[in-house]
Structure 1
Amino acid sequence: MELRPYQQEAKQAIFREWDQGHSRTLLVLPTGCGKTIVFAKVAEECVRNGDRVLIMAHRGELLDQASDKIAKTTGLGTAVEKAEQTCLGSWFRIVVGSVQSLQNENRLKKFDPDYFDTIIVDEAHHVLSNSYQKVMEHFSRAKVLGVTATPDRGDMRNLGNFFESLAYEYTLPKAIKEGYLSPIKAMTIPLKIDFSNVAVQAGDFKVSDIDTALDPYLYSIAQEMKKYCMDRKTVVFLPLVKTSQKFRDILNSEGFHAAECNGSTQARTEILEDFDKGKYNVLCNSMLLTEGWDCPSVDCVIVLRPTKVRSLYCQMVGRGTRLCEGKENLLLLDFLWHTEKHELCHPASLIADSEEVAQKMTENLEKQAGIDPMAIDLEEAEQTAREDVQREREEKLAEQLAAMKKRKRKLVDPLQFEMSIQAEDLSSYVPAFGWEMAPASDKQTKALEKYGIFPDDIDNAGKANLLLDRLNKRREEGLSTPKQIRFLESRGFKHVGTWPFDAARNMIDRIAACGWRIPQGVKPAEFKPEAV
């Protein structure tokens, strides 16, 4: 099987990280972008290099998928380490193993610590749990690849305590733009659901409290669904099995053809097949279908189990992002969840690369719901929110610049530089790995000062490293310096960070020749460097 371009890039990046000494690295691919295919090809390459590979997951369905995909894409067979089955004595070089089985002390001690050369962890956002860590500690010298669909660096901050690097990340917006995933439309429904009394347990909303708070709204939610998704194939995620079953009955009484599926359902396979074939148009479940189940024709997802965990939210929405013939888009119905702390995930959490833009997107979508509920393309909503945030930042920057003039700094404020060169990745940067979170080093601080950047506002080594890389690249490309930016923008010129170095120098020379006044005929706010 030939890999897609981004899959090939991902594979190359993983081996590059390992070659550079980063023995524990991450691969981030959105749900539906073929993460199993990528790690199957990585495993194949490792076997070719003489490695014995362990692919580890926490659910049997994921192990079965991995084994099946490896056979289809590489032709290689796999041994199994699960329940009564063991790989010991097998001649297969790839093993699919259940973490629940491997963590068993008696089982684990049968393996030499160097038995596996490479470990691949599917759904790597689970890797920090005690069961995974116990296995990792036993095979501590193995190279590790973690694969996850976690949508942003905020969720990866904790993973940075174990993984040393991010080898490759393919974003949801890019996957949609390049035609590998379905476009997403979000609609905020003006039904206010009060979650202010829901407690938090183990970092997320307490499921029993969610159930109690949600129950009074189930009939109203069904009524709203009749307006927007009667003709769509819908998956609904709910907090508890009893709620899922109750909501199924409510939907059927409202004219839907709804089914319910949970871990105890005897005819689970049959129900899922019937849903796939169109016998049912709504499938209710209590978090059963977050991982390891694919039905590309799903074109509506409703999350009635609100969460603070982006990786979990991404898994739920991912049930509807795959492409399918005749499918135009995925519709996400969101509600006006009222919480004391605004921390739960919304559709914006899927696509925005900064919390600031995500909050503005959610604010805009909720404002639209109050005027006229309508499905809005997520990419368009993100672009609008980004522009709103940019405008607000520029207003804030103007206030800061006014204050800076009073301080008469000789060095350039980092925010001014980032805004001028329009570097969203710098202004929204969040450190993810251990070394990135450390304070900027003395060497980094001195280098920033040499470039003309005021270093005191750079509070971590990751941001300092990113900023220095950008400054070095700009110098190589002959673009304006921070000091040129500060001077010219203080005179009213706009986005001097996009100017060539020579254009900025020429304008400064002209201003100097005029006694440090703006040359006649030059309007700073409208000036373009091509006119120099």
Structure 2
Amino acid sequence: MELRPYQREAKEAVFEQWENGTRKTLLVLPTGCGKTIVFAKITEDCVRNGDRVLILAHRGELLEQAADKIAKATGLKCATEKAEESCLGSWFRITVGSVQSLMRETRLKRFPDDYFDTIIIDEAHHCISDSYQRVLHHFPDAKVLGVTATPDRGDMKNLGQVFESLAYEYTLPKAIKEGYLSPIKAVTIPLQVDLTGVGVQSGDFKAGDLGNALDPYLEGIAMEMEKYCREKKTVVFLPLVKTSQKFRDILNDHGFHAAEVNGESQNRTEILEDYATGKYNVLCNSMLLTEGWDCPDVDCIVVLRPTKVRGLYCQMVGRGTRLAPGKDHLLLLDFLWHTERHELCHPAHLICESEEVARKMTENLEKDAGCPIDIEEAEKTASEDVVAQREEALAQKLAEMKRRKRKLVDPLQFEMSIQAEDLAGYVPAFGWEMAPPSDGQKKTLEKLGILPDEIDNAGKASKLLERLDKRRQEGLTTPKQIRFLESRGFQHVGTWQFDTAKKLIDRIAGNGWKIPRDIIPSEYKGA
């Protein structure tokens, strides 16, 4: 099986981390981008190198899918470590194992601590739990790869506590742009749903409270869905089984062909098959279909399980992002959730790295309620709005800086000038990145013209130093050139060449440090 370019890059990045001595690394691929295929090919190479590999997951369906994909992609068979089945005594080099079985002390004791050379954790956002940690601690020298589409978790613990690095991340916007996932259009439904009485537990809204809070709005939601979902193949996520069943009945009263599935559904397989073949056009569920179920021609997602957990939100929407014949986009319905808390996930959180941009995009979408809007275009507009706001704030800051006659460039000015959104929105993820900047980093930054006082973590300092070195190699402007010219009204000097800035500064110096009459700084283009 031929890997796609990003899948090849992901595989190579993982082995590079292991070869460089990083034992526990993370791989992030959006739902629908073939993460199982990637770790199947990684497993194949590990076996070729003589490793014994454990694929660890928390649900039987995921283990079956992994074994099936590995067999199809590589021809290799897997032993199973689950319930009554054991891999001990098997000659297969790959084991798919249930964490619920392996975590038991009596079971772990059967294995020498060097039995597995490599451990791959599917849906790795679950691995912070004690059950996974018990298994990992039993095999302390194994190389570990965590694979996930959703790299954060409801209890807000960071995966950086478990993994030492992020080997590779392929983002949803990139996957859409390169044609591997469906474009997404979001529509904010102008229906105010009051969540102010809903409690919070383990970092997210309580499902029981949500079910009760939603009940008064279900009829109104069904009426709104009539406007958008009549010709769509829709999946609806709800907080409780009873709410899901009630909403199925309401939708059928409104002329939809709706079905409902839950963990107790005895005919679940039959319902899912009937939905796939078109007998039903709406499928309601209470969070059952967030992992391990694929139906590529789903082209509408309705999230009626509001959440503060970005990972969970991405999983729900991910059920509709796969490509299918005749499908030109996924329609995502969002509602005007009224809550005292502002951390609620919206379509913006699928695509925005910066919380500031996500807030602006959500605000813009709510202004255009009722109109389906491409989320990539919405993100671009929101980013431009935020940049404009930052530039206004920057102008005020520059006025203060001028008065204080600073010799160093504020990091924000540098980031805005070179148009580095990745630096401006940087958030540390791994342990070493969160530590304060070292004295050496601060000294070097100051030497290069950057004011280090407002840089509060080593990860940001490291990224700035890398960027400064890269800019020096590429012959771009220095921080000191940026400060001098922008303090005199020139704009985005960070995008200029070093020599261009030097010639202009020399000309200003030769004119008694005054701007030559034929130059208007605000209109001057250095490129």
TM-score range, shorter chain: over 0.9
Q: CA RMSD in A?
A: 1.2
The one-letter code of the counterpart of 1:214 is L
Local SS of the residue matching 2:522: coil
The answer to whether the Cα contact below 8 Å between 1:156 and 1:432 also exists between their aligned partners in 2 is no
Contact 2:248 2:259 in 1 (8 A): yes
State how far apart, in whole Å, the 1-side matches of 2:420 and 2:234 are: 39
Distance 2:21 2:198 in 1: 45
Alignment of 1:33-72 (within 5 A): 33-72=33-72
SS in 1 for 2:95: strand
C-alpha deviation, 1:331, in angstroms: 0.3
1:58–1:99 Cα contact (<8 Å) kept: yes
Give the unaligned 5+ runs of structure 2: none
Match of 1:488 among 485, 497, 516: 485
The match for 1:228 is 228
- Pairs within 5 Å for 1:113-192: 113-150=113-150, 158-192=158-192
- Give the corresponding residue for 2:454: 457
Post-superposition shift, 1:408? 1.3
Deviations 1:365-404 (A, max 9, x none): 01111xxx11000000000000001100100100111111
| Per-residue deviation, 1:157 | 6.5
SS in 2 for 1:458: coil
Tell me the alpha carbon deviations over residues 168-199 of structure 1, each in whole angstroms, 9 at most, x when there is no partner. 00000000000000000000000000001111
Counterparts of 2:138 and 2:209, CA distance in 1? 39
The amino acid that maps onto 2:517 is: Q
- Identify the residue that residue 102 of structure 1 maps to in structure 2: 102
Partner of 2:436: 439
- Per-residue deviation, 1:151: 6.1
In 1, Cα distance between equivalents of 2:157 and 2:330: 29
- The runs of 4+ residues in structure 1 deviating greater than 4 Å are 151-157
The alpha carbon displacement at 1:405 in A equals 1.1
Letter in structure 2 aligned against 1:410: K
In 2, Cα distance between equivalents of 1:139 and 1:366: 50
- Residue 393 of structure 1 corresponds to which residue in structure 2? 390
Q: Equivalent residue of 1:529, what SS?
A: coil
The count of corresponding residues between Structure 1 and Structure 2 is: 527
Which deviates the most, 164-173 or 400-409?
Answer: 400-409
| Mapped partners of 2:152, 2:59: distance in 1 | 24
The aligned counterpart of 1:468 is 465
Residue equivalent to 1:294: 294
Q: Which residue identity lines up with residue 42 of structure 1 in the other structure?
A: I
Residue identity in the other structure for 2:222: A
Do 1:32 and 1:318's aligned partners in 2 also have CA atoms closer than 8 Å? yes
Q: Distance in 2 between matches of 1:100 and 1:154?
A: 20
* Gap regions ≥5 residues in structure 1: none
User: Is residue 13–residue 168 contact of structure 1 (8 Å, CA) maintained in 2?
Assistant: yes
Deviation at 1:98, TM superposition (A): 0.3
Q: Is the 8 A contact 2:432 2:459 kept in 1?
A: yes
Greater CA deviation, 274-283 or 510-519?
510-519
Contact 2:156/2:203 (<8 A) preserved: no
One-letter code of the match for 1:37? I
Secondary structure of 1:181 counterpart: coil
Task: Give the aligned partner of residue 2 of structure 2.
Answer: 2
Partner Cα distance (1:105, 1:200) in 2 = 33
Secondary structure class of the residue paired with 1:456: coil
Q: Shift of the alpha carbon at 1:112?
A: 0.6
2-side partners of 1:417 and 1:155: how far apart? 35
Is the CA contact (8 Å cut-off) linking 2:154 and 2:203 kept in structure 1?
no
**Offset, 1:406:** 1.6
Question: Structure 2 CA distance, aligned partners of 1:354 and 1:108?
Answer: 42
- Shift of the 152–435 alpha-carbon distance from structure 1 to 2, 3 Å rule, reads same
Task: Give distance in 2, aligned partners of 1:155 and 1:25.
Answer: 21
TM alignment of 1:132-531, pairs within 5 A: 132-150=132-150, 158-369=158-369, 373-530=370-527
CA-CA distance at 1:155 after TM superposition: 9.7
Q: Which SS does the other structure have where 2:476 is aligned?
A: coil
Cα separation, partners in 2 of 1:378 and 1:154, compared to 1, 3 Å: farther
C-alpha contact (below 8 Å) 1:191/1:336 kept by paired residues: yes
Distance apart, 1:409 and its partner CA: 1.1
Q: Relative to 1, partners in 2 of residues 1:155 and 1:432: Cα closer, same or farther, differing over 3 Å?
A: farther
Cα 1:505–1:154 change in 2 (3 A) is: farther
How far apart are residue 141 of structure 1 and its match?
1.2
The residue matched to 2:437 in structure 1 has which SS? coil
- Within 2, Cα distance between the matches of 1:309 and 1:148? 15
In the superposition, the TM-score normalised over structure 1's length comes to 0.98
1:15 maps to 2:15? yes
Q: Tell me if the contact between 2:154 and 2:202 (Cα under 8 Å) persists in the aligned partners.
A: no
Amino acid at match of 1:462: G
TM-score scaled to structure 2, two decimals?
0.99
Return the offset for 1:153: 11
* 1:93 paired residue number: 93
Residues in 2 aligned to 1:21 and 1:309: alpha-carbon distance in whole angstroms: 32
Code of the aligned partner of 1:463: K
| Distance across 2 between alignment mates of 1:178 and 1:285 | 31
2:388 & 2:49 partners in 1: Cα distance? 52
Aligned-partner Cα distance in 2 for 1:482–1:307 = 42
CA contact (8 A) 1:157 1:432 kept: no
The AA in structure 1 aligned to 2:487 is S
Identity between Structure 1 and Structure 2 (%): 75
Q: State whether residues 155 and 202 of structure 2, in contact with CA within 8 Å, keep that contact through their aligned partners in structure 1.
A: no
Query: Does the 8 Å contact 2:152/2:158 carry over to 1?
Result: no
Q: Determine helix, strand or coil for the equivalent of 1:519.
A: coil
Question: Is the CA contact 2:172–2:351 (under 8 Å) kept in the aligned structure 1?
Answer: yes
Aligned to 1:73: 73
Q: How much does 1:211 deviate? A: 0.7
Tell me how far 1:344 sits from its aligned partner.
1.0
Measure, in 2, the Cα distance between the counterparts of 1:395 and 1:58: 49
1:416 is matched by which residue type in structure 2?
Answer: Q
Shift of 1:156: 8.6
Q: Any conservation in 1 of the 2:125–2:151 contact (CA below 8 Å)?
A: no
Distance 1:280 1:111 in 2: 48
State the Cα distance separating 1:325 from its structure 2 match: 0.3
The Cα shift of 1:152 comes to: 7.6
